[in-house]
Protein backbone atom coordinates (compact mmCIF):
# COMPACT_ATOMS: atom_id res chain seq x y z
CA UNK A 1 0.00 0.00 0.00
CA UNK A 2 1.39 3.41 -0.90
CA UNK A 3 1.22 6.57 1.20
CA UNK A 4 -1.81 8.04 -0.55
CA UNK A 5 -3.77 4.80 -0.05
CA UNK A 6 -2.72 4.70 3.62
CA UNK A 7 -3.83 8.31 4.21
CA UNK A 8 -7.08 7.53 2.42
CA UNK A 9 -7.71 4.60 4.81
CA UNK A 10 -7.01 6.80 7.81
CA UNK A 11 -9.31 9.61 6.63
CA UNK A 12 -12.08 7.27 5.45
CA UNK A 13 -12.21 5.86 8.99
CA UNK A 14 -13.65 9.24 10.08
CA UNK A 15 -16.44 8.90 7.48
CA UNK A 16 -17.40 5.26 8.13
CA UNK A 17 -20.19 4.55 10.60
CA UNK A 18 -19.60 0.78 10.71
CA UNK A 19 -17.20 0.06 13.59
CA UNK A 20 -15.78 -3.16 12.12
CA UNK A 21 -14.96 -1.48 8.81
CA UNK A 22 -13.49 1.53 10.65
CA UNK A 23 -11.28 -0.82 12.69
CA UNK A 24 -9.96 -2.46 9.52
CA UNK A 25 -9.12 0.91 7.97
CA UNK A 26 -7.12 1.96 11.05
CA UNK A 27 -5.30 -1.42 11.12
CA UNK A 28 -4.30 -0.88 7.48
CA UNK A 29 -2.88 2.57 8.20
CA UNK A 30 -1.56 2.72 11.81
CA UNK A 31 0.58 0.66 14.13
CA UNK A 32 -1.28 -0.69 17.19
CA UNK A 33 0.83 1.55 19.47
CA UNK A 34 0.50 4.68 17.30
CA UNK A 35 0.45 8.07 19.02
CA UNK A 36 -2.04 10.73 17.95
CA UNK A 37 -1.37 14.34 18.97
CA UNK A 38 -3.65 17.30 18.36
CA UNK A 39 -4.42 20.59 20.12
CA UNK A 40 -6.94 18.91 22.44
CA UNK A 41 -4.56 16.23 23.70
CA UNK A 42 -2.53 13.09 23.15
CA UNK A 43 -3.99 9.65 22.44
CA UNK A 44 -1.85 6.55 22.93
CA UNK A 45 -2.73 3.55 20.78
CA UNK A 46 -4.88 2.81 17.75
CA UNK A 47 -7.67 1.35 19.92
CA UNK A 48 -8.00 4.59 21.87
CA UNK A 49 -7.97 6.53 18.60
CA UNK A 50 -10.81 4.34 17.33
CA UNK A 51 -12.80 5.29 20.44
CA UNK A 52 -12.23 8.97 19.63
CA UNK A 53 -13.40 8.47 16.05
CA UNK A 54 -16.48 6.59 17.25
CA UNK A 55 -17.36 9.42 19.64
CA UNK A 56 -16.81 11.98 16.88
CA UNK A 57 -19.13 10.06 14.55
CA UNK A 58 -21.84 9.86 17.23
CA UNK A 59 -21.57 13.58 18.01
CA UNK A 60 -21.36 14.60 14.32
CA UNK A 61 -23.46 12.12 12.30
CA UNK A 62 -23.42 14.19 9.11
CA UNK A 63 -19.73 15.10 9.17
CA UNK A 64 -17.45 14.38 6.23
CA UNK A 65 -13.64 14.49 6.24
CA UNK A 66 -11.56 14.85 3.07
CA UNK A 67 -7.82 15.19 2.45
CA UNK A 68 -5.29 16.49 -0.02
CA UNK A 69 -2.45 14.65 -1.69
CA UNK A 70 0.17 13.59 0.87
CA UNK A 71 3.89 14.17 0.47
CA UNK A 72 6.68 12.14 2.05
CA UNK A 73 10.41 12.13 2.71
CA UNK A 74 12.71 10.22 5.08
CA UNK A 75 9.86 8.29 6.77
CA UNK A 76 7.79 11.44 7.42
CA UNK A 77 4.63 12.55 5.66
CA UNK A 78 2.17 15.44 5.63
CA UNK A 79 -1.24 16.22 4.16
CA UNK A 80 -4.00 18.79 4.61
CA UNK A 81 -7.51 17.83 5.59
CA UNK A 82 -10.93 19.43 5.77
CA UNK A 83 -13.89 18.46 7.96
CA UNK A 84 -17.38 19.58 7.07
CA UNK A 85 -19.39 19.22 10.28
CA UNK A 86 -22.66 20.35 8.72
CA UNK A 87 -23.78 22.16 5.60
CA UNK A 88 -24.44 25.45 7.40
CA UNK A 89 -20.88 26.02 8.67
CA UNK A 90 -17.51 26.56 7.08
CA UNK A 91 -15.31 23.47 7.18
CA UNK A 92 -12.67 22.97 9.84
CA UNK A 93 -9.27 22.60 8.18
CA UNK A 94 -5.82 21.54 9.25
CA UNK A 95 -2.62 19.78 8.41
CA UNK A 96 -1.26 16.47 9.68
CA UNK A 97 2.35 15.41 9.97
CA UNK A 98 3.16 11.73 10.43
CA UNK A 99 6.10 9.52 11.26
CA UNK A 100 6.11 6.16 9.45
CA UNK A 101 7.48 2.85 10.64
CA UNK A 102 9.66 0.64 8.40
CA UNK A 103 6.57 -0.91 6.77
CA UNK A 104 4.99 2.48 6.04
CA UNK A 105 2.37 2.40 8.81
CA UNK A 106 1.76 5.58 10.78
CA UNK A 107 3.38 5.41 14.20
CA UNK A 108 2.85 9.05 15.16
CA UNK A 109 0.48 11.67 13.76
CA UNK A 110 0.62 15.31 14.82
CA UNK A 111 -2.40 17.33 13.77
CA UNK A 112 -2.55 21.11 13.53
CA UNK A 113 -5.95 22.78 13.27
CA UNK A 114 -6.54 25.87 11.19
CA UNK A 115 -5.04 27.11 7.92
CA UNK A 116 -1.65 25.77 6.90
CA UNK A 117 1.30 27.89 7.98
CA UNK A 118 1.99 29.00 4.38
CA UNK A 119 -1.53 30.41 3.88
Tell me the C-alpha distance between 92 and 83, whole Å: 5
Q: Does a structural domain hold residue 118?
A: no
Residue numbers of the domain that contains 14 = 3-113
Q: Does a structural domain hold residue 54?
A: yes
> Per DSSP, which regions of 2-51 are E strands?
30-38, 41-44
Determine the average pLDDT of the residues in 27-52: 97
Q: Does a structural domain hold residue 90?
A: yes
Q: Does a structural domain hold residue 49?
A: yes
What do you get for the CA distance between the two ends of the chain, in Å?
Answer: 31
> Which H or E run contains 13?
helix 3-13
Determine the average pLDDT of the residues in 36-65: 96
Q: Does a structural domain hold residue 82?
A: yes
Average pLDDT, the chain: 95
What CATH number has the domain bearing residue 50? 3.10.450.50
Q: How many domains is the chain partitioned into structurally? A: 1
- Judge whether residue 117 has pLDDT over 80: no
pTM (2 decimals)?
0.92
**pLDDT tens for each residue of 66-114:** 999 999 999 999 999 999 997 788 899 999 999 999 999 999 999 999 9
Amino acid sequence: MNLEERVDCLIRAWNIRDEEERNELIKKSCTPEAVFINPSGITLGADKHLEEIKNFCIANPGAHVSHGKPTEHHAYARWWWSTLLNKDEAPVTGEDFAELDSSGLFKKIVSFWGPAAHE
